[in-house]
Structure 1
Amino acid sequence: MGELDEIYSNYAEEIFKYLMCLCHNADLSEELTQETFYQAVKSIDRYNGECKMSVWLCQIAKHSYYKYLERNRKQLREMPLDYTLHTSPEAEFIHSEDKIGLYRIIHLLEEPYKEVLLLRILGGLSFKEIGEIQLKNENWARVTFYRAKLKLRERGKDNIGQ
């Protein structure tokens, strides 16, 4: 038991910070940190030492986060838009900016950036679903969304608030 306590004390803060980067929610990160170590204890016999302990724990943390998202996907979609806007990095970006100015900039984006942004932010669709709609794949949707956010940032510095 002492070895498990040592693992927890050595890595809990790192795992918590990693989860904060994923979900931007301290309460959820704390809950998922606990879940990560619970899963690690259950599967410690599968840790073979081929990678660092921190890498192994981050993998478990990532999978715990994905499981959380999958379990709560339907529930999150049924929440009011204002609440869901505060639960994702994309939504936090919208919330922190002048919304009218932001939507003006989105409207001026060329396709497919505009559509991908709207499907993700307003439609709440997953990257996989966006890829299917566009007859592309999930990775294409992720890259396009990332590039669209970069374009928003570039244009937003000049246009937001005008």
Structure 2
Amino acid sequence: MQFLYFSVRATFYETKKSFMRLYILLLVVLIAACSKTERKYEIIITSEDQSPPDSRIEKFHDYLSRNRCNELYPANDKKPDNQEAKPIIIDICEFTSSKLGPVIATKEIGTKTKISREGTFHTLRYETSFRSGKGTESFTFQKKDNQEELVAYQLESKELNISYSSSSALTKKSDS
């Protein structure tokens, strides 16, 4: 009888321990699942090579030089992605065309690729000579569905004393 008592008691405690471990494990999983921390990842690849201009950049400069910036995006392009950035990019292109004139020469001074949850972004930086001055251009393309689209353009020019970007308003540089 004594043996049976210890056997039942030992089984009860072992079962209780197992359930307690299960409850603790369940609690840890529940806390981890309800955690509000967003797991963010991004990979950034940069290079500073002197390669010839990309065909996309040559196309942009061709539109800029011929003052046909409104043709950068097709009229039938009604995708909701970056609709607010497109008219700004066209405005910057037209502004650059009117103030600095056509492109004379350009060379790549660096690239950056960012891979994140929002997508893959390629940023290309160019040192560009225009008829009436020089500037540093930055083009950002977003890759989606095996196609890349220009989503941001930035121009910094000492001649105009401005930094003009599609991601912000026209900002006059202060002399410092």
Normalising by the smaller structure, the TM-score range is: under 0.3
- Greater fraction of residues in helix: 1
Provide the TM-score with structure 1 as the length reference.
0.24
- Greater fraction of residues in strand: 2
Q: Which has the larger radius of gyration?
A: 2
Provide the TM-score with structure 2 as the length reference.
0.23
